Amino acid sequence: MFEYDPASALEAISVLVEKHVESDLHDLSYRATESSACAHAWVVVPSQSNSFPFVVFLHGGGQDRGAFLNEAFLLAGHGIASLLIDLPQARALPNFFHPEKDQATLSRTVLAVRRGMDCLALRSDIDISRGAIIGFSFGAWIGSMVAAVDARLGRAILTSGVPRMSEFWRASPHPDVAGIRDGLPSPIMERYVEASKPFDAIEHLRRCSKVRLFFQFGAEDELISQEYVRELLPYGIGDNLIKIYESGSHYQMFLNPDARRDRLAWIEDQLLGEGGLRFAAM
């Protein structure tokens, strides 16, 4: 489903955009597949000379590659590089009438993330064996699939993610989702749901036994039901975590300062080891 030829041409172009005291910002474009348009990403690399661990950031619906840029700059100050990939599909509705086209687009999105890591692997200042992925909402969904199939990622933070996106479109009581559903013939929605099930996050999390997982949810998130959270509880045992934060809405959860602090502290601890809890004082 998400396989590709790692030897195929990336046609990568990286341009230095800004130099900061603690980091450099690069604009990266590359070819995810031969037939796809170029993918675009920000790359943030610490200024000092080293071989850095890295984080892949995946934004949510309606957002773009700049959503996590502030967090990437903070991580750079602590010796961690970042790849922030733009996900155009996060800004578009699913193709309910042609689910096979929608799934093909999802597969290309996952491949774009994997190919972005191929670009990082070409850099001498990146330790490609020490990687993590952080995703919010749509990005958490894509992140669960990438973490399941790419061994370069040993840790994942999935914030406000839906375990079964297929069921979300069929059953979510949110007015916007209900309005979309009510505008579709029932057979069209049922066909889309059945075709989408192999892409549900829960199907891929089962394959993440070697990945350390940290799930973050908002207590008052109007898109993430408590039933969704309960479904993920079995994946929050052992070295994995599930944490619920005070949050008045889905997007307030993205901005929640406690969730951000915990993300940064956990990532630093996981990628840099002892002494990696300096973000806890933020």
pLDDT for residue 277: 45
pLDDT for residue 278: 56
Can you spell out the DSSP letters for the chain?
Answer: -----TTS----EEEEEEE-SSEEEEEEEEESSTTSPEEEEEEEEESSSS-EEEEEEE--TT--TTTTHHHHHHHHTTT-EEEEE--GGGGS---TT-HHHHHHHHHHHHHHHHHHHHHHHT-TTEEEEEEEEEEETHHHHHHHHHHHH-TTEEEEEEES--S-HHHHHHH---HHHHHHHHTS-HHHHHHHHHHHGGG-HHHHHTT-TTSEEEEEEETT-SSS-HHHHHHHGGGSSTT-EEEEE--SSHHHHHH-HHHHHHHHHHHHHHHH-TT--GGGG-
pLDDT for residue 56: 98
pLDDT for residue 113: 97
pTM across the whole model: 0.94
pLDDT for residue 158: 98
pLDDT for residue 274: 57
Q: What is the mean pLDDT of each run of 10 residues along the chain (282 residues)?
A: 86 96 96 87 93 97 96 96 96 94 93 97 95 98 96 97 94 93 94 95 94 96 92 92 93 95 96 63 46
Domains of the chain by residue range: 13-271
pLDDT for residue 273: 84
| 13-271 carries CATH number 3.40.50.1820 | yes
